[in-house]
Amino acid sequence: MPKERFLHVVPNPWTHIDSDGQNYARPCGKVLHFYRGPGVSNAHHDLVGARIAHVETLSPSQVRTIGSLTMVGRHAQERHVVEYDRGPTRVMNEKHYQAEVRAGNLIAWDLPSALACGIPADEFVSPEKLLAEFRAVAIEKFYLENPNAPEVSEVLYAEEAPAPAQPAAEAQPVAPPPSAPAPSDVVTSAPAEH
Angstrom distance (rounded) from CA 56 to CA 153? 17
The domain in which residue 91 lies consists of 6-54+85-160
Q: For the purposes of burial, counting CB atoms within 10 Å of the CB of 41, is it exposed (0-12), middle (13-18) or buried (19 or more)?
A: exposed
Task: Please tell me the total count of domains within the chain.
Answer: 1
Instruction: Say if residues 47 and 83 touch (Cβ distance below 8 Å).
Output: no
101 found inside a domain: yes
93 found inside a domain: yes
Which conformational region is residue 114 in: left (phi greater than 0), alpha (psi within -120 to 50 degrees), or beta? alpha
109 found inside a domain: yes
15 found inside a domain: yes
Q: Which residue has the higher pLDDT, 97 or 59?
A: 97
31 found inside a domain: yes
What does the pLDDT read at residue 178? 43
Question: Which pTM value belongs to this model?
Answer: 0.69
What does the pLDDT read at residue 109? 96
166 found inside a domain: no
- DSSP character string of 132-182: HHHHHHHHHHHHHH-TTPPPPPPP-BGGGSPPPP--HHHHS--PPPTTSPP
Instruction: Say if residues 50 and 85 touch (Cβ distance below 8 Å).
Output: yes
Q: How confident is the model at residue 39 (pLDDT cuts 50, 70, 90)?
A: low
Query: pLDDT of 14-35, one tens digit each?
Result: 999 888 767 788 888 889 887 7
91 found inside a domain: yes
63 found inside a domain: no
